[in-house]
Amino acid sequence: MANSRSCIVSRQPMDKEALLRFVAGPDGSIYPDLKESLPGRGVWVEARRESVEQAVAKNLFARSLKTQVSADSNLADTVGQLLGERAIKALALARKAGTLVTGFTKADTAIRSNQARMLFHGSDATADGRRKLAQAITFAREMGGEEVEVFDCWTSAEMGAALGLEAATHAVALEGGATTALKRSVERWLAYEGKLTGS
């Protein structure tokens, strides 16, 4: 793999997309570098919570960097929080880019017209709303449409706050570059937390 690095936990080479970069700051603390832009020598850990926890518990950052550094005991939680923040920011960016619609009616229309690529339910969405949009997805699939991935990441209030709305119970991401970035951010976060189907 040309674009690979080795995880300091498993010592296995992996594609950079499957890894997280960490660097030592001037204060000797370990910081996550999600944008892979911080200066200094970096080390790589598989982008899964348990791998980061192992790296901290076994003092692997210091061993790999061959210098005395300290990793906060809550580093895995910090990474999870940062990945979650990036994911919901990507949701807001998709709306600004015009590739996200909200509300049951718009979601249903987008799905049935084969424009939808991702569907987000608020975790507090009703069973009836979920069922009807699932029927819309089945209809689109039977008509030869693209598969729609369904996510249940946030409450309606959390989605609404990110989108400048009182609440957003259902949101659909349409085809576009912002949706591609949204998909990458959400799946990276959920995979890290072990909540991505098939992860």
Complete DSSP assignment for 95-107 = HHTT-EEESHHHH
Query: Is residue 123 packed enough to be buried (19+ CB in 10 Å), middle (13-18) or exposed (0-12)?
Result: middle
Out of 2.30.30.100, 3.90.1640.10, 3.30.1230.10, 3.90.1300.10, the CATH code matching 4-73 is: 3.30.1230.10
What DSSP character marks residue 47? S
Please give the pLDDT value at position 4: 81
Radius of gyration (Cα) for the chain, nearest Å?
19
- The DSSP 8-state label assigned to residue 84 in this structure reads H
Tell me the pLDDT of the chain (199 aa) as tens digits: 557 899 999 999 999 999 999 999 999 999 999 999 999 889 999 999 999 999 999 999 999 999 999 999 999 999 999 999 999 999 999 999 999 999 999 999 999 999 999 999 999 999 999 999 999 999 999 999 999 999 999 999 999 999 999 999 999 999 999 999 999 999 999 999 999 875 4
For residue 3, the one-letter residue type is N
- Where in the chain are all domains bearing CATH 3.30.1330.30? 80-192
Q: Is the pTM of this model over 0.75?
A: yes
- The number of beta carbons lying within 10 Å of the beta carbon of residue 153 is 19
All CATH 3.30.1230.10 domain ranges of the chain, comma separated, are 4-73
- The residues near 103 (Cβ < 8 Å, ≥ 6 apart) are 168, 169, 170
- Whole-angstrom Cα distance, residue 2 to residue 31? 25
Instruction: Encode pLDDT of 71-106 as tens digits.
Output: 999 999 999 999 999 999 999 999 999 999 999 999
Class of domain 80-192: alpha beta
- The tokens describing 10, both together, are 């498993």
Give residue 36's Cα distance to chain centre.
Answer: 16
- CA 32 to CA 52: how far, in whole Å? 10
In this predicted structure, what is the pLDDT of residue 199?
Answer: 44
Amino acid in the structure at residue 194 = G
Whole-angstrom distance, CA of residue 170 vs CA of residue 173: 10
